[in-house]
Amino acid sequence: MKFLDQAKIYVRSGDGGDGVIAFRREKYIEFGGPDGGKGGRGGDVIFRAVANLNTLIDFRYTQHFRARKGGNGAGSDRTGAASPNVVIDVPVGTQVFDEDRETMLADLDVVGKEILLCRGGDGGFGNAHYKTSTNRAPRRADKGWPGEERWVWLRLKLIADVGLVGLPNAGKSTLLSVCSRAKPKIADYPFTTLHPQLGVVRISATEEFIIADIPGLIEGASDGAGLGDRFLGHVERCATLIHLLDGTESQIVKNYRMIRHELAAYDENLAAKPEIVVLNKCDALTKAQITARKRALAKASGAPVLTLSGVTGEGLPELLRFVQDQVTATRRAEQEAVSVASPDRM
């Protein structure tokens, strides 16, 4: 299935049904009176987050969603039928923006979360509604209220615990393939990965985390170079970033600082996330080279540097355990911060 993380769609809720003018006329009933019923309610447009989707590709082919109009009223004081709602299923992590692409209307970040975007119109009153002691035969009935309509932008931000960032050909897809069952395309040329990839890493029977491989950044990505920073939104929700670096590159510190600059240019909050620096492709380096590069990276990042060989798997168990502990600690801290900010009321 092709990955698509942005889509523009049109939604419209249903108009309310019309009220009617009717009078009760039956044999042997001298004064029947007005009995026109009101119209039914138009259908709502609801967005719902579901777990079995991970792309917005369906909205490339279906871009218009309209709810039906409510049924008209009828005689004998019968109310028109309400129209069914239109429920639009989207992947978890989908954000709904107004047509200006800046005003966020909803953030569907939890499975089962729903948002009523366009409310259906109410039905119009029939003439039975207007009868009074002084107006016993009203000839007034209202049209149904119109529904709401709008164009909206959908933007998907994948829900992952860990985000893989780094230069093209740093070995991100290889790492994803060896630590999970994901099967990303792997080749020896830059920009092999054109779309984000997700994988589930299981450490034990009770421990697992989701890792996202983000297409490689290059210098000037924040200005649109290469694939730009379009996919960085997918790591905004991550608890931890894995900054993967190609150990065979000569200017490894420069490459590290360049990626950090692009992260900060995109979002300061993203650059402030916990980071795990990993020196990859160590199977192609000598011990002296590994030691020198680790020392240089540790000085530049101010954090310990882990070593890895994605091909041989050397250092992989240690890395995954370190990542799991980091994710667990970060998520626990986030939950404690939320509980402190909004304590339970008695």
pLDDT at 37: 92
pLDDT for 90 beyond 60? yes
Alpha-carbon distance 76 to 325, whole Å? 69
Q: How confident is the model at residue 188 (pLDDT cuts 50, 70, 90)?
A: low
**Rounded mean pLDDT of 161-175?**
83
Query: How many CB atoms within 10 Å of residue 155?
Result: 17
272 has a pLDDT exceeding 90: no
Please give the pLDDT value at position 79: 92
pLDDT digits (tens, 9 = 90+) for 320-335: 888 888 888 877 877 7
CA–CA gap between residue 36 and residue 23 (Å, rounded): 7
- pLDDT classification of 145: cutoffs 50, 70, 90: very high
What is residue 2's predicted lDDT score, i.e. its pLDDT?
59
Would the CA dihedral through 170, 173, 216, 192 be positive or negative?
positive
pTM of the predicted protein model: 0.73
CA–CA dist 105, 237 (Å, integer): 18
pLDDT of 220 over the 70 cut? no
Closest CA to 80 of 154, 152, 14, 20: 20
Closest CA to 110 of 170, 167, 47, 64: 47
Query: How high is the pLDDT of residue 255?
Result: 87
Judge whether 54 and 158 are in contact, CB under 8 Å: yes
Q: Report the alpha-carbon distance of residue 83 to residue 115 in Å, rounded.
A: 18
* Lowest pLDDT segment from 61-70, 125-134, 186-195, 312-321: 186-195
Judged against a pLDDT cut of 70, whether residue 187 lies above it is answered with no
| Radius of gyration for the chain, computed over Cα atoms and rounded to the nearest angstrom | 29
Residue 120: pLDDT band (50, 70, 90) is: very high
